[in-house]
């Protein structure tokens, strides 16, 4: 039911015992709060409500849905802080994709949820397995490296967190470093402070990282050089200082990854650090590194008809 110009409230007609597995209402004109009758959908795996006018606080009552793996709330009118989990069990333990971007959420980032995203902690490799079964595949609208598109089938190893364009105010929790299967992480355009936690260097599957347009300070952790699958990096418009790490994927990033951080120095910036010589320009190219270490998303997206 995506992009059908549906208007009004989402009806509260979800009865106990229903077998609904995927609810996709992205790109309509739905408004009002979410009906708490959705908690009756205990088989729900995918909830995609992006690009509507839904006006509500964060639905923490969804954490009681044991099968929920994909939650897309992007581009609505959600507001307020992310309230604490209410379930007696592990909240959102099967979560693979959470997109809360382009809303008006505020307060601290939800550490209590991050430390329970068990499915994001287990690296599964790059075998092409999809959510669903032999007769039905789940689909969802997601953002990959800044581009919004529809995945007709959801790869089970596709794990992302998008909290960009909100009003979160806190440091970045070190617990993020436990989510070792993450492919994409976007906290850009918030009011995050403090330093970038070195624990992000544990995210060895990470392919894109966007922390731009915050108030982060301190140095870029040297441990991020270990992210050999990282193909896209944006740390621009923060308050970072010191020398930019050099080596591996960091050799491929250009000036725009660091713009607006006037205390940074070193390659690729023209502002050399004290006692630093220019690094040689002969290093492995970005395409070679991505082909060697990263996953070839272009091939997958071509298969989706993108």
Cis, peptide link before residue 268, omega less than 30° from 0: yes
Torsions phi, psi of 96, nearest 5? -115, -35
User: Given 3-state DSSP classes, what are the helix, strand and coil percentages for the chain, each rounded to the nearest 5?
Assistant: 20, 25, 60
**pLDDT value at residue 125:** 56
Q: Locate 238 and state its tokens.
A: 């923060």
Domains of the chain: 7-303 (3.80.10.10)
Lowest mean pLDDT among 1-10, 22-31, 110-119, 194-203: 1-10
**pLDDT value at residue 115:** 92
Largest CA distance in the chain: 69
What are the angstrom distances between the C-alpha of 195 and each of 119, 186, 218?
A: 26, 16, 5
In 10 A of CB 251, how many CB atoms?
20
Picking from 69, 19, 76, 9, the residue whose alpha carbon sits closest to that of residue 42 is: 19
Please write the tens of the pLDDT for every residue from 232-242: 999 999 999 99
Please write the tens of the pLDDT for every residue from 241-300: 999 999 888 999 999 999 999 999 999 998 888 876 655 553 444 444 444 445 554 444
Question: Where is mean pLDDT largest: 66-70, 127-131, 195-199?
Answer: 195-199
Please write the tens of the pLDDT for every residue from 11-47: 888 888 898 998 989 989 999 999 999 999 999 999 9
Please write the tens of the pLDDT for every residue from 121-167: 987 655 556 555 544 445 566 777 777 766 656 666 678 999 999 99
Measured at the CA of 107, the angle between CA 191 and CA 172, to 5 degrees, comes to: 55
Check if the beta carbon of residue 203 is closer than 8 Å to that of residue 182.
Answer: yes
Check if the beta carbon of residue 1 is closer than 8 Å to that of residue 11.
Answer: no
Average pLDDT over residues 222-226: 95
């Amino acid at each position: 039911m995506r992009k059908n110009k549906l208007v009004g409230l989402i009806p509260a007609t979800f009865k106990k015992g229903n077998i609904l597995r995927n609810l996709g209402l992205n790109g309509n004109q739905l408004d009002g709060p979410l009906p708490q009758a959705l908690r009756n959908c205990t088989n729900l795996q995918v909830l995609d409500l992006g690009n509507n006018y839904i006006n509500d606080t964060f639905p923490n009552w969804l954490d009681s849905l044991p099968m929920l793996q994909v939650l897309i709330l992007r581009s609505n009118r959600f507001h307020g802080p992310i309230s604490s989990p209410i379930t007696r069990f592990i909240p959102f333990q099967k979560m693979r994709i959470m997109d809360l971007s382009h809303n008006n959420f505020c307060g601290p980032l939800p550490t209590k949820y991050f430390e329970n995203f068990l499915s994001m902690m287990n690296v599964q490799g790059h075998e092409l397995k999809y959510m669903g079964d032999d007769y039905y595949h789940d689909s969802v609208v997601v953002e990959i490296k800044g581009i919004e598109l529809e995945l007709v089938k959801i790869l089970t190893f596709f794990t992302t967190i998008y909290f960009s364009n909100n009003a979160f105010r806190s440091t970045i929790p070190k617990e993020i470093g436990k989510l070792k299967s993450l492919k994409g992480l976007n906290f850009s355009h918030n009011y995050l402070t403090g330093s970038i936690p070195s624990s992000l260097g544990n995210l060895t599957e990470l392919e894109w990282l966007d922390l731009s347009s915050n108030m982060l300070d301190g140095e870029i952790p040297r441990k991020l050089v270990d992210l050999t699958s990282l193909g896209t990096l944006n740390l621009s418009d923060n308050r970072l200082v010191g020398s930019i790490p050099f080596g591996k994927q960091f050799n491929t990033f250009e000036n725009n990854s660091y713009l607006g951080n006037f205390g940074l120095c070193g390659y690729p910036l023209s502002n050399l650090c004290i006692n630093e010589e220019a690094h040689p320009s002969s290093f492995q190219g970005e395409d070679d590194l991505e082909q060697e270490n990263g996953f070839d998303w272009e091939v997958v997206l071509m298969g989706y008809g993108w």
